[in-house]
Amino acid sequence: MTEGRIIAIGDVHGCSAGLAALVRAIDPTPLYTLVFLGDYIDRGPDSRGVLVQVIALAERCIVVPLLGNHEEMLLAALEGPSELRYWLKFGGTEALASYGYRGGPELRPADLRALIPSEHLQFIKGCRDYFETVRHIFVHAYYEPDRPLHEQRWGGLRWASLPPVPARHCSGKVAIVGHTPQKSGEILDLGYLKCIDTFCHGWGWLTALEVRTGKVWQANLAGEMRR
């Protein structure tokens, strides 16, 4: 595809105020493409509000949503009790609180469908494994440098962390990734790889990066922009 104004957004993790602030600052038009790197949910205070915003953005601009490991955990939690318990330990409890769950009898997978709107589950099920443009590749977590994107293994795309840092991808394109939190709040920029998970839910920043120009917007958990 021809690469126009493409903006990648790192791991939101329930930081709805930070996302709202970024969207106001970016003010996307129908000509913009926003690539979300996944992990919309868990950890932060308002997973529901994040999904509401991302779904609504599709009416304003092109939205390309990738699937993160936290969304993968939620989808697995719909299928079995052990998977549900696992998800709850890694941020699922905070996500469900944003949907009004206040505890009670032990949750069953079927209960999730009553708590989480079907529109939100359908959005998550429709998220992509990766995205590729003329100059860039976008994955949630990691890539195997010697494999084309369509041959990548899901474990690496969504679960592997930095370090180790992979070599440049065989396509020669610049990789934009998330997943590994940069607790300094600064983008990890290696030239051929840029990690833009800057730890918003942990009192860092939520980062948006215009991939062609390098312009950066950052907002914190409270929705305050970084100057």
Is 1 part of any domain? Answer: no
pTM (predicted TM-score): 0.96
Those residues whose C-beta lies under 8 Å from the C-beta of residue 227, and which sit 6 or more positions away, are: none
What mean pLDDT do residues 50-68 have? 98
pLDDT digit string (tens) for 119-175? 999 999 999 999 999 999 999 999 999 999 999 999 999 999 999 999 999 999 999
- Look up the domain containing 152 and give its range: 6-219
Is 225 part of any domain? Answer: no
Is 224 part of any domain? Answer: no
Q: Among residues 89, 78, 58, 67, which one has the least CA distance to residue 118?
A: 78
Give the pLDDT of residue 23.
98
Give the pLDDT of residue 4.
65
Please report, for the domain that includes residue 49, its CATH number.
Answer: 3.60.21.10
Is 79 part of any domain? Answer: yes
Is 227 part of any domain? Answer: no
How many domains are there within the chain? 1
